[in-house]
Structure 1
Amino acid sequence: MKKSNTVFIVSLIISILFIAPGIIAPKQFAKIATSIQTFLQDKFGWFYLLSATAFLVFVLFLAFSKFGRIRLGKPDDRPEYSTITWFAMLFSAGMGIGLVFWGVAEPISHYFTPPNGEAASPQAAQNALRYSFFHWGLHPWGIYTLIGLSLAYFKFRKNAPGLISAIFTPLIGDRVNGPIGKTIDVIAVFATVFGVATSLGLGAIQISGGISYLTDFSNNFQTQFIIIIIVTFLFMFSAQTGLDKGIKYLSNTNIILAILLMVALLFAGPTNFIMDAFVQSLGSYLQYLPSMSFNLSTFNPKNSSWIQSWTVFYWAWWIAWAPFVGTFIARVSKGRTIREFIIGVLLVPTVFGALWFSVFGGTAINLEMFHDFHINDVINKEGSEVALFAMLGHLPLGNIMSVIAILLIATFFITSADSATFVLGMQTSNGSLNPPNKIKFVWGIVQAATAAVLLWSGGLEGLQTAAIIAAFPFAFILIAMMFSMVKELREELAAIRQEGKK
């Protein structure tokens, strides 16, 4: 049996075995999954923090080292996509739905339940934006950069298959073609399925919340399930058109809608407050970045619980997303140098994300602090998914911006799922850059079913639980990836020097 068929079949069986209990016995499934999640967070929170920080430091080292000049491809290769299109594609795949979902809800949550200090205070407002920058900034993109860079290097520089297992050839040689390599690829597929399902579930929840806030529709599982079915049909149609049509056009549409919504809110909201908050919070983020990267609040159990619920969850979520986003970024990054790749992938989305939270979170905090509009009460009553729409509804042209927001979530939903079916197809068809449509179709159905089952069995908590469980085994693969990359890069530079002496 071919390796690609083995990985596809084993991954599919494991995915089905994991979600089947959620269909048969959702309460028991949710209980067991939550127990596993609690164990991983309590016992390995330190591991997630150390790992995420190590990945970021490693890629920064590569960017400014002698390896930075190496091109992801042959010496005369140049990028396939323009810089703007490249940014749009990696941003849409890398954050998308999450930014829209948490843009208001997370800063408001931190404002009323801060990691330390007094709630609803000026310091709590500063911490709210700083931690939002932290959770969506350099650390997640450092994780994505590591795997994206590794895949692009081995695929385009060394002509290896576009498989995560191929990265480990310098460490284990031909065994990447045996059980060890297959296991690596299966773990990557498993993490991708459940990492992406988490975001698809968030998208369904927020589209449902937005529609219910603007209309008479109920925000319940039935509405969310219908949304999943409709969007699944749309992204499956897009997936059949290939990378240069569906995903490319949708990514550009995403970035246009996102910028349009952000600029509209920037000028409809408290513009000076937003920009002041952006500058001040960005400085605070950079100032406290080292301490936040290692903070577990060991000596304060209350604060420690906050770190577990937010930071540890996010680091696990990003690790679960890493094989999907990394593979996709690698696929669209041929021809760029290692330095260009790392700086582009790290800095541009981080700055954009910081501006996003300043606009959305800053506006929400301004309404809470100075205009007596209690978004937090809406969240407590109707859920985090309506926070964005509640805030927009309090501003000029709020209904129009709400409609744009729903369209943005839908296009992000389609792009993320479309990109994920493409990546899963690559990983289960021996790294093919153009995987068969039938394989993409199967993974599209699996993703949609997984998101629906997780929502049914545990709602938002069920989605978070799945992400943390899926991320744990893949974190060890990312650690080994750093050693493999250093070994191969050193050998390449030695070979280049040797060639220069001839």
Structure 2
Amino acid sequence: MTSVLQQRTSAIENPPGAQRTRPTVNWAVFAGSGVTIVLFSLWAILAPEQASTVISAVVGWIAANMGWFYVLTATVVTVFVLVVAFSREGSLKMGPDHSKPQYNLFTWTAMLFAAGIGIDLLFFSVAEPVTQYYGPPAGEGRSDEAVRMAVVWTLFHYGVSGWAMYALMGMAFGYFAYRWNMPLSIRSALYPLIGKRVHGRAGDAVDIAALLGTIFGVATSLGIGIVQLNYGLFLLFGIPEGTAAQIGLIVVAVVMSTASCVSGVDKGIRRLSELNVLMAVALIVWVLVAGRTSFLLDAMVQNLGDYVAALPGITLDTFAYTGAEEWMAGWTLFFWAWWIAWAPFVGLFLARISRGRTLREFVIATLTVPFVFILILVSIFGNSALDLVMGGDDAFGQAAMNTPERAFYSLLEQYPGAPLLIALASITGLLFYVTSADSGALVMSTFTSTIQDPTQDGPKWLRVFWAAATGLLTLAMLLVGGVPTLQAATLIIGLPFSIVMYLIMIGFWKALRTERAQREGRQSTRRSVSASRIPGPDGHWRRRLSRTGSFPGPKAVLRYEEQVLAPALAEVVEEFRAHGRDAELTSSVVGYQGLSEHTLTVHMGKDRDFCYQIYPVATPVPAFGGFRTNPDSDLYYRLEVFTETGSQGTDVMDWDHEQVINDVLDSWEAHLAFLSLHTGPSKIQDGPEGPPDWSTDIQDVPTGQIPAVKEVHL
């Protein structure tokens, strides 16, 4: 067994000598995806007419033959994430059982929303309601039914179904990375299906597909943002709309997004996300107060009711009897493909910031928190635009429908302080652009890297490359045909990855059933009090009291490892071998003052291997009682027992020889019970290589057991 424990990361400041494994470039994924994007961009730039013809033909075929598949996929994903959230497995954490969230609720939701929604929300919040009012998929335009459903269709396209795709990818990423200690990549979610082949070409192919979907999805958002910002600059400074201005905007945005993503999550993306939300709220409040406030609030409540009532029907509506293929391709199919394309990108980013949250908490927050913001924004801006159209301003309506990039700014021109509003909207749009681009570059660098530590990101130069590649692809698509071509390309690229999403759901469900069987196996042993936790024959209450007030330093831990722990584990291994089991004991220095981890593994053939791990965890010395057995350091070391689901909270330091062996046997009996219960199609062949590697941070230590310390983010 190859030990992966040297890659353990601590969110507290590691003691001197602590080591972290650096990310390395996955050249197969990088070359495959990078060459594809560059060649496609050059083809689009050098032969725009041919590219436009080919893309249009493929989109036509998909709209005519695969519309049902996109609709069905969105429905299945939504049902799946809800089933996971409200099942018994919903209480599982994306991380060890003892882990705590790294970010507070506001910061987490702000990053969640800003990474998942870009400037396109401002674009469609006005353009789509007006367009749906004039040309609904069924019935007459400009009717009472059309105006009532206009905002509802926009909410549908930005609502629960799309965010369910983000939730699926996010919880799959987080579960396998933080609970199974697998790389933070899509291939990890397929491990239950294809086993160790995820580390080979099959895994590379999946990551390439995810990366291509990501970059096309992000490029679509950025292209929409570019044409909208171009019009904003025209209004503010008279800069003419056209290719030259758009190239300039792409260059500026790429430079800004590069600087942001290189600075990392905490310093760049986090702060921009928070600022983004606050500026968007300022725009909403201004329009709400300056407009027909009572009407807008009434309409918002009605929009929510209509959306909830219509959701079950429109979710599966393929318009089979009305022949609305063109409308479906331009709206619902495009949005579902767009969400699918964005799902790996946003899902990985959400997992990156959601360690320690339960699956239920993650799903509910992902489906509701952003949607509440979207409801407010779309309802305020969309109904304000509809109010103008129904009030007789047909010129505004036609302009919003035919030149959608101008719709949002044209609406703001109707309010007091229009120049200030337009300037604020342009800055907000630019920040939306940057937060999408820098998050995308960060995630794509992760897709093209081999990273064992889920708290790390891809190399900085790789982030720069993907920021530039995204800008190049955006430019190519704008030269081919503008926003419609970007939408068409997204519809195409989303199809193959939708198949991967089905595989992820199957693999994720198998993994959850496996963990349920593990829990049932442990429960079946009925260990109310483990024998290993009871002092042995030579122990008594004085010894027990002495142990509870002991906070050993590295020398004491090293001495215990050499004299008791290693010999006890070695004796168990020999006994396993004597009974015909393929057992081994591995040890490796982890960098904490020369301390080592010890992993006992019993290979089980096609069944899940048994792993029992003792790992030294650096922990702040408690401040209560004035106890300090190690006056030269603020840290002491716990020799904790780790299993597949994280730390068991057990410190074996100072246990005697028999107690250590008893605890190993307790875990062995629980594992056998798990294997006896875990039968049938859900069995996972070839378990993870080695025991999971759990990050231990200050927040993971129970409240009241550590002194107040400075929070350190990775």
TM range (shorter): over 0.9
Deviation of 1:371 after TM superposition, in Å, equals 5.3
Specify which of 480, 483, 486 is matched with residue 503 of structure 2: 480
CA deviation string 1:207-247 (max 9, x = no partner): 00112234422111221111111111111111211111100
Taking the aligned partners of 1:295 and 1:209, their CA distance within structure 2 comes to 35
Contact 2:130 2:400 in 1 (8 A): no
Contact 1:210 1:385 in 2 (8 A): no
Specify which of 391, 396, 401 is matched with residue 375 of structure 1: 396
RMSD: 1.3
Structure 2, unmatched stretches of 5+, are 1-23, 526-714
Specify which of 402, 421, 424 is matched with residue 401 of structure 1: 421
Matched, 1:348 2:348: no
What residue in structure 2 maps to residue 311 of structure 1? Answer: 332
Contact 2:138 2:322 in 1 (8 A): no
Specify which of 77, 80, 84 is matched with residue 55 of structure 1: 77
Specify which of 109, 124, 130 is matched with residue 131 of structure 2: 109
What residue in structure 2 maps to residue 251 of structure 1? Answer: 273
Give the count of matched residue pairs. Answer: 499
Structure 1 residues 3 and 393: CA distance shift in structure 2, 3 A: closer
The structure where helix makes up a greater share of residues is 1
What residue in structure 2 maps to residue 20 of structure 1? Answer: 42
Deviation of 1:122 after TM superposition, in Å, equals 2.2
AA partner of residue 296 (structure 1): T
Taking the aligned partners of 2:235 and 2:61, their CA distance within structure 1 comes to 37
AA partner of residue 61 (structure 1): V
Identity of aligned residues (%): 37
What residue in structure 2 maps to residue 288 of structure 1? Answer: 310
Contact 1:93 1:416 in 2 (8 A): yes
Taking the aligned partners of 1:405 and 1:82, their CA distance within structure 2 comes to 27
**Secondary structure at 2:263 match in 1:** coil
Deviation of 1:380 after TM superposition, in Å, equals 5.3
Taking the aligned partners of 1:377 and 1:412, their CA distance within structure 2 comes to 27
Matched, 1:278 2:300: yes
What residue in structure 2 maps to residue 338 of structure 1? Answer: 359
**Secondary structure at 1:412 match in 2:** helix
Q: Which stretch has the larger CA shift, 456-465 or 424-433? A: 424-433
Contact 1:3 1:177 in 2 (8 A): no
Superposed, 1:183-194 pairs within 5 Å as 183-194=205-216
What residue in structure 1 maps to residue 476 of structure 2? Answer: 453
Superposed, 1:121-270 pairs within 5 Å as 121-270=143-292
Contact 2:58 2:492 in 1 (8 A): yes
| Relative contact order higher in (CA < 8 Å, ≥ 6 apart) | 1
AA partner of residue 436 (structure 1): P
Taking the aligned partners of 2:347 and 2:380, their CA distance within structure 1 comes to 28
Matched, 1:31 2:53: yes
Specify which of 462, 465, 473 is matched with residue 488 of structure 2: 465
Larger radius of gyration: 2
The structure where strand makes up a greater share of residues is 2
AA partner of residue 293 (structure 2): T
CA deviation string 1:90-135 (max 9, x = no partner): 1111112111111111101111111222212222111101111100
**Secondary structure at 1:55 match in 2:** helix
Contact 2:126 2:400 in 1 (8 A): no
Deviation of 1:398 after TM superposition, in Å, equals 2.0
Structure 1 residues 380 and 52: CA distance shift in structure 2, 3 A: closer
Deviation of 1:419 after TM superposition, in Å, equals 0.3
Taking the aligned partners of 1:396 and 1:35, their CA distance within structure 2 comes to 46
CA deviation string 1:62-107 (max 9, x = no partner): 1111111101101110111111111111111111211111111110
AA partner of residue 482 (structure 1): M
Deviation of 1:370 after TM superposition, in Å, equals 2.3
Specify which of 343, 366, 381 is matched with residue 387 of structure 2: 366
Deviation of 1:355 after TM superposition, in Å, equals 1.3
**Secondary structure at 1:186 match in 2:** helix
Taking the aligned partners of 1:499 and 1:380, their CA distance within structure 2 comes to 61
Q: Which stretch has the larger CA shift, 145-154 or 425-434? A: 425-434
Deviation of 1:403 after TM superposition, in Å, equals 1.0
Contact 2:113 2:370 in 1 (8 A): yes
**Secondary structure at 2:53 match in 1:** helix
Specify which of 4, 8, 11 is matched with residue 33 of structure 2: 11
Taking the aligned partners of 1:86 and 1:449, their CA distance within structure 2 comes to 31
Taking the aligned partners of 2:472 and 2:325, their CA distance within structure 1 comes to 34
Taking the aligned partners of 1:322 and 1:370, their CA distance within structure 2 comes to 39
Taking the aligned partners of 2:249 and 2:294, their CA distance within structure 1 comes to 38
Contact 2:127 2:401 in 1 (8 A): no
Structure 1 residues 261 and 446: CA distance shift in structure 2, 3 A: same
Deviation of 1:373 after TM superposition, in Å, equals 5.9
Taking the aligned partners of 2:130 and 2:478, their CA distance within structure 1 comes to 24
What residue in structure 2 maps to residue 46 of structure 1? Answer: 68
Structure 1 residues 41 and 304: CA distance shift in structure 2, 3 A: closer
**Secondary structure at 1:79 match in 2:** coil
**Secondary structure at 1:333 match in 2:** coil
What residue in structure 1 maps to residue 521 of structure 2? Answer: 498
Taking the aligned partners of 1:221 and 1:316, their CA distance within structure 2 comes to 27
Q: Which stretch has the larger CA shift, 204-213 or 244-253? A: 204-213
Matched, 1:95 2:117: yes
Taking the aligned partners of 1:123 and 1:375, their CA distance within structure 2 comes to 21
